[in-house]
Structure formats: C-alpha cells, structure tokens
C-alpha cells in the first residue's frame, strides 16, 4: 500500500469516528482526485431521517459542491471507505 493511500484510509477512519460522535454508525468516506481530497462525508441518516445520508453519498455530494458541478465525472475519482 502506498503511503498516500494509507493516509487517505486513515482520514476515512477519522470520518467514521466523527460519524459515531454525531450519533451515526461507524462509516465515513472521502473522495480523492489527483491526490487531493475533494469531498468527505459521514453517515448520519438516522439523525436526518434520510436513508440516503450514508458517508459514501455524503462524500460524493460534498465533492460535487466543492467542484461546483453535478457532472458524473466526479465518480471517476477514488473513494476511500
């Protein structure tokens, strides 16, 4: 495993811990493009009464917001869960 991948996985674990701290289950995610984190999310569906509020979906939404796009090209990035 490359050092940068390990750093990204550790960041996803931090997001999972954040999810638990906010009353969610231990799942967090980040989206990486060209070696940069462009989105992150935590799972707080129970808190929001939103079954789609998983860390993976939240990280994609965040990446689209940060890139100011709804283009599906964001999905060509790497996700670390």
- Residue-wise pLDDT tens digits, 9-63: 999 999 999 999 988 889 899 999 888 999 999 998 887 888 888 899 999 999 9
**What is the model's pLDDT at position 41?**
95
pLDDT given at position 52: 85
Is residue 80 scored above 70 in pLDDT? Answer: no
The residue annotated as part of the active site, out of 7, 14, 18, 56, is: 56
- Give Cα separations from 75 to 10, 20, 22, 46, 68 (angstroms): 21, 26, 26, 25, 14
Indicate if 56 belongs to the active site.
yes
Is 27:55 a contact under the CB 8 Å cutoff?
A: yes
pLDDT of 68 higher than 60: yes
Cα distances (Å, whole numbers) of residue 35 to 30, 32, 52, 80, 81: 12, 6, 27, 12, 16
């Amino acid at each position: 495993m490359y050092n940068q991948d390990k750093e990204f996985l550790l960041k996803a674990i931090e997001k999972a811990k954040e999810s638990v701290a906010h009353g969610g289950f231990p799942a967090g995610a980040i989206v990486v493009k060209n070696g940069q984190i462009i989105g992150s999310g935590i799972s707080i569906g129970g808190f929001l009464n939103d079954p789609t509020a998983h860390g993976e979906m939240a990280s994609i939404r965040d990446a689209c917001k940060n890139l100011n796009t709804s283009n599906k090209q964001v999905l060509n990035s790497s996700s670390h869960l």
